[in-house]
């Protein structure tokens, strides 16, 4: 079932009004702007499960049509085999899931990562 849902999402064109708004907003940033097309979900951080990393994100996307294609791939990732298995394992009803997609200008990071602190503050 998940594969057929993904296929249907990828084969469907987003509504014209949405597509025009996305392309217009992208062009306002500049035609060669590199963006991140990131997925997010209201249910990513539940008390009993964390969906962080279950859905796809695409980096260094350029061009309005490419941004639209990446958005569709993010939507389809809601139905990836991995995400479906994770929801099933944690008892999350597939009908209660949703996804949002964020498009952000790429920035060149000088440093990335996280550091763990141990001990107590003095």
Assign residue 62 the CATH number of its domain. Answer: 3.30.1490.20
Kind plus residue range of the DSSP H or E element containing 8: helix 2-11
Residue 120 lies in a domain: no
Let me know if residue 8 belongs to a domain. yes
Number of domains the chain contains: 1
pLDDT at 43: 59
What pTM was estimated for this model as a whole? 0.82
In a domain, 116, yes or no: no
Residue 118 counted as domain residue: no
Closest CA to 73 of 38, 109, 97, 44: 38
The domain in which residue 78 lies consists of 2-105
pLDDT digits (tens, 9 = 90+) for 49-80: 566 667 899 999 999 999 999 999 999 999 99
Answer yes or no: is 33 within a domain. Answer: yes
């Amino acid at each position: 079932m998940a594969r057929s849902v993904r296929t249907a999402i990828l084969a469907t064109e987003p509504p014209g009004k949405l597509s025009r708004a996305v392309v217009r907003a992208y062009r306002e940033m500049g035609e060669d702007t590199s963006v991140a097309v990131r997925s997010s979900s209201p249910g990513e951080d539940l008390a009993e499960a964390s969906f962080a990393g279950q859905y796809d994100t695409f980096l260094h996307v350029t061009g309005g049509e490419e941004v639209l294609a990446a958005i569709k791939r993010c939507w389809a990732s809601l139905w990836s085999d991995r995400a479906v298995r994770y929801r099933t394992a944690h008892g999350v009803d597939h009908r209660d899931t949703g996804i949002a997609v964020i498009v952000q200008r790429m920035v060149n990071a000088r440093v990335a990562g996280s550091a763990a602190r141990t001990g107590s503050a003095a």
